């Protein structure tokens, strides 16, 4: 029988709202647009917000330039850099801090997060959660080919924690990438499927990508962890 020893978390839309990061980035771009292009901040920001709300996820800044009749397509790259390099105004979900405080008293805590390294590091600094974590892995440190669903970042975080996969749980949100690599190694996986989350509506591409369990908030984790601590073997089938 394996006893639970470590809980590993995803970052975006698991410990904080990725939507908040996106809107923070839009605010930074709108500020630059106001100072350099004469588009009033709130107007420029609202346009970006509306595009996002309509489901636009690609060419957002190109479309913004077109809307305002600005024939400088090279500015889209400038906007992307501003977006990625800004200091984000983000906070953990309300249930995050209490959960981490409680879990860190009894278990080792790890992080595995995808995304451009400097962007993820800025998010991590803004959230001020580092004190709760025993190991932090940004998959971009291994190369983009090692982003999830690769098992490589999970192997690294388990190595840093000195924990066997069968004695750990991974909690994430995106069924297209978060759970495949973790399951391949033998970790128990939990999807947090929050209402209105960025990836909650997505379906796994096949059975190997499914989490073992789906919950709606981190508040449910404590009860589940208590059950898993008693006997994780029965849950890994």
Tens-digit pLDDT profile for residues 51-93:
999 999 999 999 999 999 999 999 999 999 999 999 999 999 9
pLDDT of residue 96: 97
Tens digit of each residue's pLDDT (9 = 90 or more) over 98-115: 999 999 999 999 999 999
Q: Are residues 12 and 28 in the same domain?
A: no
Residue 25 lies in a domain: yes
Q: What is the DSSP string of the chain?
A: -PPP-EEEE--BTTTB-HHHHHHHHHHHHHHHHHHHH---HHHHHHHHHHHHHTT--SSHHHHHHHHTT---TTHHHHHHHHHHHS-----B-TTHHHHHHHHTTTSEEEEEE-S-HHHHHHHHHHHT-GGG-SEEEEGGGG-GGGSTTSSHHHHHHHHHHT--GGGEEEEES-TTTTTHHHHHHT-EEEEE--TT-SSTT---SSGGG--SEEESSGGGHHHHHHHHHH-SGGG--
Number of domains the chain is built from:
2
pLDDT of residue 230: 52
Q: Are residues 100 and 61 in the same domain?
A: no
Domain range enclosing 197:
6-17+91-235
Of the three residues 58, 85, 112, the one that is the final residue of a domain is 85
Could you tell me the pTM of the whole model? Answer: 0.92
Residue 1 lies in a domain: no
Phi, psi for residue 199 in degrees, rounded to 5 = -120, 5
């Amino acid at each position: 029988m394996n006893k639970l020893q470590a809980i590993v978390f995803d970052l975006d839309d698991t410990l904080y709202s990725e939507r908040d990061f996106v809107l923070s980035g839009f605010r930074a771009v709108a500020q630059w647009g106001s100072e350099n292009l004469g588009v009033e901040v709130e107007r420029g920001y609202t346009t970006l917000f509306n595009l996002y709300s309509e489901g636009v996820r690609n060419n957002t800044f190109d479309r913004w330039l077109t809307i305002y009749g600005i024939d400088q397509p090279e500015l889209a790259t400038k906007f992307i850099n501003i977006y990625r390099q800004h200091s984000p105004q983000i906070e953990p979900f309300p249930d995050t801090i209490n959960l981490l405080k409680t879990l860190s008293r009894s278990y080792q805590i790890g992080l595995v997060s995808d995304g451009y390294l400097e962007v993820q590091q800025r998010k991590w600094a803004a959230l001020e959660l580092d004190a709760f974590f025993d190991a932090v892995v940004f998959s971009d440190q291994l190369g983009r080919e090692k982003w999830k669903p690769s098992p490589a970042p999970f192997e690294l975080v388990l190595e840093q924690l000195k924990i066997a996969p069968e004695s750990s749980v991974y909690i994430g949100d995106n069924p297209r990438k978060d759970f495949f690599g973790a399951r391949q190694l033998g970790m128990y996986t939990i999807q947090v499927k929050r209402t209105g989350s960025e990836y909650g509506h997505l379906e796994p591409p096949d059975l190997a990508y499914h989490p073992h369990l789906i919950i709606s908030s981190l508040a449910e984790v404590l009860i589940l962890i208590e059950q898993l601590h008693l006997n994780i073997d029965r849950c890994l089938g």
